[in-house]
Structure 1
Amino acid sequence: MYLEFFGLHRHPFRITPEDDFIYMSQQHSRAYVYMSSAIWSSEGFVVISGEIGSGKTTLLKKTIRNLEGDLKLLNISYTNLESKDLFGLILRKAGIKVEDDSKVAMLFQITDYLERMASEGTPVVLTIDEAQNLTRENLEDIRMLTGMESMGGPSMRVILLGQPELKQSVAAIPQLSQRVKLFFHLEGLTAAETAEYIDYRLLVSGHGGNKLFDDETVREIHNLSKGIPRLINKLCDGMMMCAYSEDRPFIDPFDLKGIRKDLLGEDATGGSHKTPLRKRKEPPRVGSNVSEAADWSGSSKALLRIAEALERIDQRLSQIVPEEKHHNNHHSSGDNVKPLSPGRK
């Protein structure tokens, strides 16, 4: 919605994983190397844990996209499974028709498949996202599969990714934990990395102008998000939406006070602030019949802000559409239609 206004060609702060947008901090680079090594090591078994929104799925997508060489990847992302469902999913990912849906029969099919791949020299890699949802029985089955030996070592390499409790679940099964070659936990970004992360995503999106988020604003974003990339995206997107709705080319840190409650699900007046928010700058306003939110210095509601923003945008569109109709009635050629006003789609 605000792309043209800020001179962007892509949305910079989506919360869905986009691996070409990933900012490779030092810890993300390490996790990527560990995952890549698990794929090509004969004893590859890596567990990557991290908070929600820390970039695990994005890293996995990047790893898969950059795969080269002869291997068979079995990628599973749905993990609310019953006992035998895991075996059924593995067979389907391998392109094998389930002949008998009993667990024993499917195990024999998987065993035959792994032995055939090993004889052909083709590594089989099992990647499971959201692995914290796996049951203990599922984890025991994975342990059994990784224990199957071929001439070159284990028949299957494994990468498990999940929330922090995944590491605890794996550690609770000593026979499985001992087979894991590497455990790695993704923390939130540092304050310096948060600044680089925001600048990087804007750069990839096509922004080449002045710095949008000043140092004070970035510090506050880091404090609120704890450096979690998905939360950084939510806050930055909300602030850019506020700026767009008020026709101002700068980001006002005061907007964080208005949007944080509904974006982060916390009390807008609570929480700790290492960096106090500055007094709000009065931006240039466009014509609007929407009432101003009362008491911006208090706990302003994000929903009201968003409603105002949408109504301003609707008014803009309603002004543009009649203008276009007027010109269309006087010009038969599309080349003569008056373009939209600058800074708006």
Structure 2
Amino acid sequence: MTIDEASTGKRTTAGVTFAARLVFDDISHSFAPGTETLRNVSLAAEPGEVLCLLGPSGSGKTTLLRIAAGIEPQSTGRVLLNGREIAGPSVFLPPEKRSIGLVFQDFALFPHMTILDNVRFGLTELSREEARREAMIALSRVGLEAYAAAYPHVLSGGEQQRVALARALAPRPAVLLMDEPFSGLDSRLKDSVRAETLAILRESRATAIVVTHDAEEAMRMGDRIALLKDGRLVQAGRAEDLYLSPNDLFVAGFFSELNIFGGRVRGGFVETSVGRIAAPGLADGTETTVAVRTTGFDVSETEGQVEARILSRRYLGVIELLELAVPGAETPVRARVRCGILSARSRDIWFSLRESDVLLFETRRENA
């Protein structure tokens, strides 16, 4: 690739690495007695897949990433790379011996070094010329070869993220770890940089684990998603598995904005203020939590199952957000509907629920 090609935004195809299987086996961690940050987490990242670690702040995502990288030791459990124990009761390989790359949240570029020197910083086992060649190949992968002699401060946030990615890929790691790599980018850049990063990961074929707190980002990037809460693995699977078949209310609420209602099963149904909900598989008398996604409302000015009054409406572009007063509901019901369905003068309307957007959970299990 020439300098002219790099300046036009073209890049070389990423070199292929040998993807590895990374396994967390019953990992627990605490910074002090009685303050567990991870609790018996068992999880595997399969060769060549992008696994997203998802969860709120304090759920243990970054700690698990640091344990994989060798920056933080676990309290109990093992980490295995292609079946080989790299961290456990009797083994602890240092970070540089693990064939695991890490992209930090703030990119961690050295401001006093050129872009080229930043990228070849970790290639300590190669000769100077070999390290330069590998660093240039890595920069070519991300389309920034023309900036090899520049310094980080002249680059945009998206370009700095790509330099950090190039530095992590330069040693051709078997596993690449990324800690909220897009959180510092503005919304305009985020989509394009995320798409570019995913394309580079696919080309390099490295196994990748990406930490994020954004459910949509996890769904866009991950082949699979592992959702953590309070240091525990709550559910892992494909995006559609977690969205369509959440294990509990926490999982459902992480992927959708919900309206919550309570009731008991009677004759195979739960009566709620938003309608009669089928409850297959639940015994009569079971106390039930009904969750309805805000996207699950079909609204009309003339017909539907439940009558409601519009309290407020907010225009959000393609959709508008409604707050509805519904007889029997203690709080306003929220609905996201396509703009134009209701006239500007609409006040009293009707709605029906889409069955696919209604989720039922046993209240006893939710409170356990």
Report the TM-score when normalising by structure 2.
Answer: 0.30
Greater helix fraction, Structure 1 or Structure 2: 1
Greater strand fraction, Structure 1 or Structure 2: 2
Report the TM-score when normalising by structure 1.
Answer: 0.31
Q: Which has the higher contact order (CA 8 A, sep 6+)?
A: 1
